[in-house]
Structure 1
Amino acid sequence: MSTTAAPPAPTAAPEAMAPPEPAPEPAGLYEPGPLRADVVVVGGGMTGTVTALLLAEGGADVVVLDARPARTTATARSTGKLTVLQGTRLARVARHGDEVLASYVAAGFAGIGWLRRALGDLGVVVENRDDLTVAGTPEQVEPVDAVLQACARIGLAAEWEDDPPVPSPAFGAVRLPGQAQVDPMAALTALRRLLRTRGVPVHDGVRVREVRRTPSGVALRTSRGTVRAGHVVLATGVPPGVYGGLVLRLEAHRSYLTSWELAPGAALPDGFAMTMSITAGEPVRSLRTAGDLLVVGGEGHVVGREPDPRARLDTLDAWTRRHFPVATRRHAWAAQDYATDTGLPFIGAALPGDDRVLVATGYAKWGLVTAAAAGITLSGRLLGVPVDWEPVLEPWARLPRPRQASARTLSRQVAGWAQAASRPTGRAPVEGAARVSRVCPHFGGVVAWNELEKSWDCPVHGSRFGPDGVLCEGPATKDLSPA
């Protein structure tokens, strides 16, 4: 499928604002005994798929478990950008020093390069684009200049542009040539198909309930039986449960994306169609074209803490209509990702010095490139051919530090306990919905109703549940209890 035929994740987008579908959980898959493998990869998005592919190519016996359909993964709902510029992220990473910054960028280029080669071999179109980080307000000029300085410190060929080709008011931008975009669902589908042709079993509809270390490796208790392996890679967006405590260092964010038909004869600024861009601050606006469609993203917020998500989407729509010659909105959907307390992704051991359980999380909405880099990193680690940047991405390479986001999360949790005492249950305003406990089974936060997406969302660590309390995504491993 070419990106000229469809925007990122459009095929599932019309249903994205409806309750997510829980995967079926038939019993007895592993009878009469537990499934065994060298490595179990939990999660069938881009991270899990790339990791499993590279492990299989290296001769490892690999099994993939996936709780949800591929079209509901964070990969399928991404913007489809392949870039190492990544908005203002490089400026934040640069605070850790030039060596860390250079390693992070090297990992990103490795991810892009791998995707270009693999997808090219599979016939998936990867379109070249220049990437722009745009100052949409005068206040954003300083952070954009910080990005340019970070690029200069490591010799990255970015350049300042006074008049970037974006239709909205702009006060300059940093341009990085040679980046790319892709239809993320087409890319994931092709890679998963390749995974199956390589003989790697992919078990859909399997949710991991518990990860336990054993003397010989790990044991996973799942919704369809027990799995034993030497190692497990948790490529689930966020580690399930509380394993390793990393969830305490993550903050869950949700953002909105829309695709639009351009009006007949619509004129866009010269060069706009050959770029992709994002603003350097609020209001965040992510832009790119996909064939004859315009893809617009933004209005992100912490999961469960937005009182009116529909107003966010309405704001994004109004902004798009004001600045672009659009006709009909084709799709609207939401995506979820996690940010870490260091500004770097966590890719490595969930517990220091123990390779039995490896994780990949904290992509901060730059998942496609980071996912491929994570797959290269984790597979190399397990196959005994580590990459140079591996120590930089190690989750415990930097000790956690107190921060405002952690304090806000704690205050939400404490407030939730008080609220649970007075309103412990709730009924979704959906026909036929049963009353459920509003206490999240993960850390005891109190879920809030999300009318736009018809879901119960936890404001503490981002777990989401359908109207009937069935778990959809996040670190929780159980449904909301019936009232």
Structure 2
Amino acid sequence: MKPLWKIDSAPPVGTPFESGGRHDVVIVGAGLTGLATAVMLVRAGLDVAVVEAGAVGELATGGNTGKLSLLQGQRLAEIRRHHSASLLRAYVDANRAGMDWLLEFAEHAGVPYERRTDHTYAQTPDALESVRASHAAAREAGLPTRMLIGTQVPETFPVAGAVALGEQVTIDPMRVARALAEEFLAAGGTLHTGIRVTAVHALPDSRVETASGPLFGEHIVVTTGAPILDRGLYFAKMRAFRSYCVSFRVPGDIPVATYISADGPTRSIRPVSPSDGPEDGSNLVVGGNGHPVGRSDGERAAVDDLVAWTQQHFPGAEETHRWSAQDYESHNLLPFVGAMPRGLGAVRFATGYAKWGLSNAPAAALRLTAEVLGASWHDRPDWMVKIGTRLTVPADLARGAVEGAKVAAAATTGWVDAERRRVPVPRPVEGQGVVANRGGLPVGVSTVDGVTRAVDAVCPHLGGVLAWNDADCTWDCPLHASRFSPDGTRIEGPALRDLKTLPRTSAG
């Protein structure tokens, strides 16, 4: 599964790692948040290093749909149901600032994009009230949306009605990431790719630990999808989703606008042109069918469902690429950005964009930059002050309690299910994995690319029993969304260690 955006030239690999290096700022993660923060800080004259376990845009950035919108599906209505109108406006203003910064950067760097009208739409009449709520919240936040009845939306897929917002954007997220990395390096920044950070410390000197040695920085900024630190227990204050995308070559007409459904199963539609995507002939991206990480009856079936839906409504559609991405939503519905608890003011982080990272990420970078540079509250924009001083409300706690109950149930179910199957087990067919019990401990056995492997199927973070993801061919934790490759290598999430590899016991 390779995203459409990653078929072009490889991103910059950066500079060789030297243990013990000292910088003004060390940023963990070379996605959009990390790179935007890095560019802002080097423009301000700071010595900055970015450390990335994989490549530039390795995970969420590279798996983005490339939709940059302030409408954001049902997000605004969800925020308004639980927060004040002033906080909703601050959220929209933050995203507008992020959007403006990203587009200004794109103009400066020569990254093309398209202006399009974005829609949140109802697939059936039952969802029209949800669409109207999105319209009302957007208008309250100052966005010039308009309501459309079904006949006013000339599309071939089912639309009972929609709320529309013009002058939104589609852009290739990997072009943006590559351009950010190139400017960062050209300005003298240090970019270390293929280096995994294993710990962050504030004392005695603020630093990050890696398998290749430490890096020291007066400020540390963690911009991984889930913070790789348990300080503040943010892994328990968010929920994580995996969503799926498929790109197509469609011989007939395709929408010129973007869409996301308000009702399920989620359908996200995004046209692609050479100016906002690769020139490989793909002209449509359809996404959706998201689910909590590690809690699905079939990931591959979710992708196949997107393909079937597209071929039904766009005859002759030919699949070109399929991929997935992981996104985090905070229980209070707003991103977490700022100082990490017990970080002594030296450690900051950002996460929880709820699938709208193209505007939330640069907005977070603006706030992180202001804090690192020591900007006073008086000198910060109103949206930054409002969001930075918000209080937890009862609804935040209620959502956290509900998610906590689901996590507890998943923890129990995983261990019980593992007891039902004992090793040895038959060799899984290609692309499949099973969890069995060996001596009272869950073991994961999978076959990928003709190789059968066995790994410890207990997540090293908090002991959840892993589930096999048959779309990505990964072991996923249903508790807090850590993910691992078939050989046990950690991919993402709050877990910091790889899984133990185990000898496979043959079933004959």
Instruction: Find the counterpart in structure 2 of residue 330 from structure 1.
Output: 320
Instruction: Find the counterpart in structure 2 of residue 10 from structure 1.
Output: 4
Match of 1:414 among 409, 412, 415: 412
Q: TM-score, normalised by structure 2?
A: 0.85
Q: Distance in 2 between matches of 1:308 and 1:10?
A: 23
Instruction: Find the counterpart in structure 1 of residue 199 from structure 2.
Output: 210
The structural deviation recorded for 1:348 is 1.2
Amino acid at match of 1:277: Y
**Helix, strand or coil for the counterpart of 2:127?**
helix
Which one scores higher on RCO, CA 8 angstroms, separation ≥ 6? 1
* 1:137-148 pair list within 5 angstroms: 137-148=124-135
**Helix, strand or coil for the counterpart of 1:434?**
strand
* 1:382-421 pair list within 5 angstroms: 382-385=372-375, 386-394=380-388, 397-398=391-392, 401-403=397-399, 404-418=402-416
Distance 1:352 1:97, change over 3 A: farther
Match of 1:35 among 10, 21, 26: 21
The structural deviation recorded for 1:149 is 0.9
Q: Distance in 2 between matches of 1:423 and 1:137?
A: 47
The question of 1:245 aligning with 2:233 is answered yes
Amino acid at match of 1:232: I
The question of 1:439 aligning with 2:435 is answered no
Q: Is the 8 A contact 2:443 2:455 kept in 1?
A: yes
Q: Distance in 2 between matches of 1:415 and 1:423?
A: 14
Instruction: Find the counterpart in structure 1 of residue 427 from structure 2.
Output: none
Instruction: Find the counterpart in structure 2 of residue 468 from structure 1.
Output: 487
Distance 1:230 1:126, change over 3 A: same
Q: What value does the CA root-mean-square deviation take over the aligned residues?
A: 2.2
The question of 1:67 aligning with 2:53 is answered yes
**Helix, strand or coil for the counterpart of 2:346?**
strand
Instruction: Find the counterpart in structure 2 of residue 256 from structure 1.
Output: 244
The structural deviation recorded for 1:462 is 0.9
The structural deviation recorded for 1:325 is 2.8
Q: Distance in 2 between matches of 1:64 and 1:288?
A: 31
* 1:298-309 pair list within 5 angstroms: 298-309=288-299
Q: Distance in 2 between matches of 1:325 and 1:384?
A: 56
Q: Is the 8 A contact 1:87 1:279 kept in 2?
A: yes
Instruction: Find the counterpart in structure 1 of residue 186 from structure 2.
Output: 197
**Farther off after superposition, 392-401 or 173-182:** 392-401
Amino acid at match of 2:355: K
The question of 1:91 aligning with 2:77 is answered yes
Instruction: Find the counterpart in structure 1 of residue 210 from structure 2.
Output: 222
Distance 1:227 1:397, change over 3 A: farther
Q: Is the 8 A contact 1:9 1:183 kept in 2?
A: no
Amino acid at match of 1:87: G
Q: Is the 8 A contact 1:352 1:396 kept in 2?
A: no
Q: Distance in 1 between matches of 2:198 and 2:476?
A: 19
The question of 1:82 aligning with 2:78 is answered no
Distance 1:345 1:395, change over 3 A: farther
Amino acid at match of 2:406: R
**Helix, strand or coil for the counterpart of 1:402?**
helix
* 1:39-50 pair list within 5 angstroms: 39-50=25-36
The question of 1:155 aligning with 2:142 is answered yes
**Helix, strand or coil for the counterpart of 1:170?**
coil
The structural deviation recorded for 1:338 is 0.7
Q: Is the 8 A contact 1:256 1:332 kept in 2?
A: yes
Aligned residues: 456
**Helix, strand or coil for the counterpart of 2:285?**
strand
Q: Distance in 2 between matches of 1:333 and 1:196?
A: 29
Amino acid at match of 1:410: A
Distance 1:43 1:314, change over 3 A: same
**Farther off after superposition, 103-112 or 136-145:** 136-145
**Farther off after superposition, 434-443 or 379-388:** 379-388
Q: Distance in 2 between matches of 1:195 and 1:9?
A: 24
The question of 1:457 aligning with 2:457 is answered no
Post-superposition CA distance 1:343-376 (Å, at most 9, x none): 1111112228953221111111111111111111
Amino acid at match of 1:303: V
Q: Distance in 1 between matches of 2:219 and 2:124?
A: 48
Amino acid at match of 2:169: A
Q: Distance in 1 between matches of 2:116 and 2:344?
A: 40
Q: Is the 8 A contact 2:350 2:364 kept in 1?
A: yes
Q: Distance in 2 between matches of 1:114 and 1:324?
A: 35
Runs of 5+ unmatched residues, structure 2: 274-280, 420-439, 503-508
Q: Is the 8 A contact 2:68 2:359 kept in 1?
A: yes
The structural deviation recorded for 1:168 is 1.3
**Helix, strand or coil for the counterpart of 2:302?**
helix
Q: Is the 8 A contact 1:267 1:325 kept in 2?
A: no
Q: Distance in 2 between matches of 1:215 and 1:464?
A: 31
Q: Distance in 2 between matches of 1:97 and 1:407?
A: 27
Q: Is the 8 A contact 1:246 1:350 kept in 2?
A: no
Amino acid at match of 1:461: H
The structural deviation recorded for 1:29 is 3.6
**Helix, strand or coil for the counterpart of 1:277?**
strand
Instruction: Find the counterpart in structure 2 of residue 169 from structure 1.
Output: 158
The question of 1:428 aligning with 2:446 is answered yes
Distance 1:353 1:67, change over 3 A: closer
Instruction: Find the counterpart in structure 2 of residue 180 from structure 1.
Output: 169
Q: TM-score, normalised by structure 1?
A: 0.89
**Helix, strand or coil for the counterpart of 2:397?**
coil
The structural deviation recorded for 1:120 is 0.8
**Helix, strand or coil for the counterpart of 2:223?**
strand
**Helix, strand or coil for the counterpart of 1:401?**
helix
Q: Distance in 1 between matches of 2:442 and 2:321?
A: 36
Runs of 5+ unmatched residues, structure 1: 1-7, 15-23
Instruction: Find the counterpart in structure 1 of residue 433 from structure 2.
Output: none
**Farther off after superposition, 463-472 or 220-229:** 220-229
